[in-house]
Amino acid sequence: MARQLDEQIAGRFPVGRRLRVLDVGMGQGTQALRLARAGHQVTGVEQDPQMISVAREALAAEPEGIRARMRLVQSDGRDTGVHFLPGSFDVVLCHGVLMYVEEPDPLLAGLARMLAQGGLLSLLVRNGNALAMRPGLSGDWAGALTAFDTTAYLNRLGLDVRADRLETLTATLAGIGAPLQAWYGVRVFTDTAADGTDVPDDLSDLLAVEERAGRSDPYRGVAALLHLCGVRG
């Protein structure tokens, strides 16, 4: 996903430009820190106190220049209008968040308002058109049959969450003024790997296969996650 994001940033902004980045639901700050290290000004928003603590600890270990480029805000991301002015950011990330939001449209509209003209909105969502893949590949036929007709699912944390369909989000992005420009699949072949699985020796080959599949039809359409990139018109 990082490679996909870098590809979109490189294709839309001049080389060397320092971007204003908002990462809503940043988790432990993996992407936020990566972009701050690349020279961008990053604001990370996270609701979970434990995740914020992990991100702060990681940031504290960085050189002073990187620490100065990154700001952390504890919030669920739905009150961005309180914290930031419209058009304040060149790139807005919202990765792994929408599955926990019952009504995502207001959140998405708020994120689009935070974008400057030509700004990039990057979403990572659970693929509602491929929910039967994981149970089906695991031999859970009853679960696969149920998954065909729903966007609700039980995640690996045991939480009842929701998925998004590509066609629905495409219409939503057009409606909020940040129409879809590109989309990728994420975790096409590796979604059934057990949590805690050791990193394989052939990791570079694994990543190459996943990257190729994530941009190719029909493979990207059955990925566990979708990475959608909209641009503020």
**Predicted confidence pLDDT, tens digits, the chain (233 residues):** 999 999 999 999 999 999 999 999 999 999 999 999 999 999 999 999 999 999 999 999 999 999 999 999 998 777 776 678 999 999 999 999 999 999 999 999 999 999 999 999 999 999 999 999 999 999 999 999 999 999 999 888 889 999 999 999 999 999 999 999 999 999 999 999 888 889 999 999 999 999 999 999 999 999 999 999 999 98
**Owning domain of residue 61:** 2-231
As for how many domains the chain has, the answer is: 1
Tokens of 33: 């820190």
CB–CB of 12/231 below 8 Å?
yes
Note every long-range contact of 84-87, with CB atoms under 8 Å and residues 24 or more positions apart, other chains counting.
84/22, 84/43, 84/114, 86/113, 86/114, 87/113, 87/114, 87/115, 87/116, 87/117, 87/119
Can you point out the beta strands (E) in the chain?
Answer: 20-24, 41-46, 70-74, 89-95, 115-126, 152-154, 160-162, 180-186, 225-231
CB–CB of 69/44 below 8 Å?
no
CB–CB of 126/224 below 8 Å?
yes
| pLDDT score recorded for residue 81 | 65
CATH of the domain at 132: 3.40.50.150
Instruction: Tell me 71's DSSP state.
Output: E
Instruction: Report the alpha-carbon distance of residue 210 to residue 190 in Å, rounded.
Output: 8
